[in-house]
Amino acid sequence: MHEHVTHPVPAEWAANAKIDADAYALKYRASVDDPDSFWLGEAQRIDWMRAPTKIKDTCFDTDNFRIKWFEDGTLNLAANCLDRHLATRGDDVAILWEPDHPDTPNRQLTYRELHEATCRFANLLKDKGVKRGDRVTIYLPMVPEAAVAMLACARIGAVHSIVFAGFSPDALAQRITDCESTIVLTSDEGLRGGKKVPLKANVDAACAKAKVDTVIMLRHTGADVPFVEGRDVDWAEAVAGMSAHCEPEEMNAEDPLFILYTSGSTGKPKGVLHTTGGYAVWASMTHEYTFDYRPGQIYWCAADIGWVTGHSYVVYGPLMNGATTLMFEGVPNYPDFSRFWQVVDKYEVEQFYAAPTALRALMREGDEWVKKTSRKSLKVLGSVGEPINPEAWDWYYDVVGDKRCPIVDTWWQTETGGHMITPLPGAHALKPGSASFPMFGVQPAVVDPADGHVLEGATEGALVILDSWPGQMRTVYGDHDRFIQTYFSQYPGKYFTGDGCRRDEDGYYWITGRIDDVINVSGHRMGTAEVESALVDHDAVAEAAVVGMPHDVKGQGIYAYVTTMEGVENTEELRKELIQWVRKEIGPIATPDVVQFAPGLPKTRSGKIMRRILRKIAENDTGNLGDTSTLADPSVVDDLLANSPHAK
């Protein structure tokens, strides 16, 4: 029913937007018909040290595979975020920091101050032996120093790898080891919703498992934490002795900028590697067009810097565009459910960008929390990270945006660097729940999942991208074969997104969710295999199978089927212990919602687990389990059905 509601482009948007419907159509055509000219034009948004003359050299065919953008250009991304603004807007606020608790003093850094802090910290990194190309692990809360750390790495050509500060010591150690980084930046503690997160203690635990020479620690909450002589460095003390001058390193467009680990369908997270030039053009362009961003506007992306959204749309995109970017340390429901909207009013935020899971959680608490705030500064609302259901979309539009603000439902991935499919506020009539139309240069296609042939018109299937775009990841760090294997072998010559998708009769794209063994919990991406391997690490567990289940707030919840070892009693205590175990092994975001003990898992005679059946039971859609005749022992299904929480 919802699909039939379409919100036309408001007249004032059509008249004043940077990109209106005609401009979109023209620019889109130009971007795919003549990519070299189009991207040469868009590259002008960057201050190059040496301007690129070669624009696009890409091929998705595995025997001739290459992705190169602006390959003879050189630049420094930190200089593009900072130095270039000093003359024109040096005293404008670059970062507005809103702390966890509203009574804690907030902070703001002008472009000049951020530049100075970045140079000092860059010099500290050099002093600690960090060189161009070295990997630096960042495990910091949402404080301005996190942006300083990223920019300092970019300034000296070091490659940052941010690990979300909610990940466990084991997950951190795994990521440190994978990219062979010997330096970790952290703080004493983090603070979220009034709760302390023991970041330094986590780093200490990770250091027992990984080879780390230097830990630079920011004092944030002031907690008394152990300090390891010879390894640990006090951030503020060390930075005070550093020069505020640091020449930006001249980087090639294809030099690595950052690594960000993300989940795939195997147990081991992938180090997604992004390079400098193409990413810069992509993050800057998409930030400007998607949000219709104009200098002077206060812009707020509520994502954590531990996710790609924080990289592209809290730090790099907005700062390249000279924006005032708001960084929020806290959570939407602390001290109460009005917090988001109070912050919007406090700073007169014009663009607000968040994940549907947060919106659904707030929606449940009723409209009053929203309505008692003004929100009249808001112009564009953004959604990111997971499909937004039409109910949440309507609430966002009607209640939060007072039916005035276009919603940009941005579909993209860690791998894509920035927005791929999204409405533009002045160009597209909105259909609630649809990511709508491709960004410039993006050529999506829907293919038949079975044989990969491209489907035309109104259809449904697997979402692929036919040609490269500048913000595309270049490799999986240390494992190029895995990169090719994961993204380009399923449908040869095409980039496979892992998502299912429908295209309607008007050409709108609707993302239907992952069709691989990846689930999306509260907008956080999780490999079912990662949770499975955490479970089987427990002594009592013989085997585990994990699937997603529908969840009102999280979008998807985690449903684990566990077969215990011979002789182990399947008690309530064990169930709770396993839930805590996964929490500790991976982090709170991986906490299973359901653990069902299963004496056997439904396997084919060749030993492959039939996940389809497990998904159906988890979804309580057991009317038609499909063909179970190939199961080695069909009776296990009866047991699973009888013992599912839905049956009780």
* Binding site as annotated, residues: 192-195, 309, 333, 385-387, 409-414, 499, 514, 522, 525, 536, 538, 541, 583
Nearer to ligand WT7, 168 or 262 (CB): 262
Taking CB under 6 A as the rule, does residue 189 contact ligand WT7? Answer: no
Taking CB under 6 A as the rule, does residue 387 contact ligand WT7? Answer: yes
CB of 639 to ligand WT7, least distance (A): 32
Q: Binder to ligand WT7 among 414, 434, 486, 528 (CB under 6 A)? A: 414
- CA–CA separation, 374 and 502 (whole Å): 37
Taking CB under 6 A as the rule, does residue 307 contact ligand WT7? Answer: yes
How far does the chain reach from its first CA to its final CA, in angstroms? 32
- CA–CA separation, 87 and 80 (whole Å): 13
**Near ligand WT7 by CB under 6 A, which window of 104-112, 239-247, 382-390, 440-448?**
382-390
Quick note: the x/- pattern for ligand WT7 over 507-546, rule CB under 6 A, is ----x-xx-----x----x---------------------
**Encoding tokens for residue 487?**
């993204």
Q: Binder to ligand WT7 among 174, 338, 410, 564 (CB under 6 A)? A: 410
Taking CB under 6 A as the rule, does residue 262 contact ligand WT7? Answer: yes
Cβ atoms of residues 81 and 151 within 8 Å: yes
Three-state helix/strand/coil letters over 283-315:
HHHHHHHHCCCCCCCEEEECCCCCCHHHHHHHH
**Near ligand WT7 by CB under 6 A, which window of 87-95, 282-290, 378-386, 535-543?**
378-386
Cβ atoms of residues 630 and 604 within 8 Å: yes
Amino acid at residue number 167: F
Three-state secondary-structure class, residue 63: helix
CB of 526 to ligand WT7, least distance (A): 9
Total chain residues near ligand WT7 (CB under 6 A): 24
Tally helices (H) and strands (E) across the chain.
22, 31
CB of 502 to ligand WT7, least distance (A): 12
Cβ atoms of residues 589 and 524 within 8 Å: yes
CB of 397 to ligand WT7, least distance (A): 15
Alpha-carbon distances, residue 14 vs 429, 436, 638 (angstroms): 10, 17, 58
- Show binding-site residues for Mg(2+): 536, 538, 541
Taking CB under 6 A as the rule, does residue 434 contact ligand WT7? Answer: no
Taking CB under 6 A as the rule, does residue 407 contact ligand WT7? Answer: no
- CA–CA separation, 423 and 431 (whole Å): 9
- CA–CA separation, 479 and 625 (whole Å): 38
Nearer to ligand WT7, 205 or 589 (CB): 589
Taking CB under 6 A as the rule, does residue 435 contact ligand WT7? Answer: yes
CB of 548 to ligand WT7, least distance (A): 11
- Show binding-site residues for ATP: 385-387, 409-414, 499, 514, 525
What H or E segment, with its residue span, contains residue 197? strand 195-197
**Encoding tokens for residue 22?**
């005609």
Taking CB under 6 A as the rule, does residue 412 contact ligand WT7? Answer: yes
Taking CB under 6 A as the rule, does residue 308 contact ligand WT7? Answer: yes
Cβ atoms of residues 204 and 217 within 8 Å: no
Cβ atoms of residues 293 and 321 within 8 Å: yes
Widest CA span of the chain, in angstroms?
A: 74
Q: Binder to ligand WT7 among 277, 498, 527, 557 (CB under 6 A)? A: 498
Question: Contact positions toward ligand WT7, by CB under 6 A?
Answer: 262, 307-309, 383-387, 409-414, 435, 497-499, 511, 513-514, 520, 525
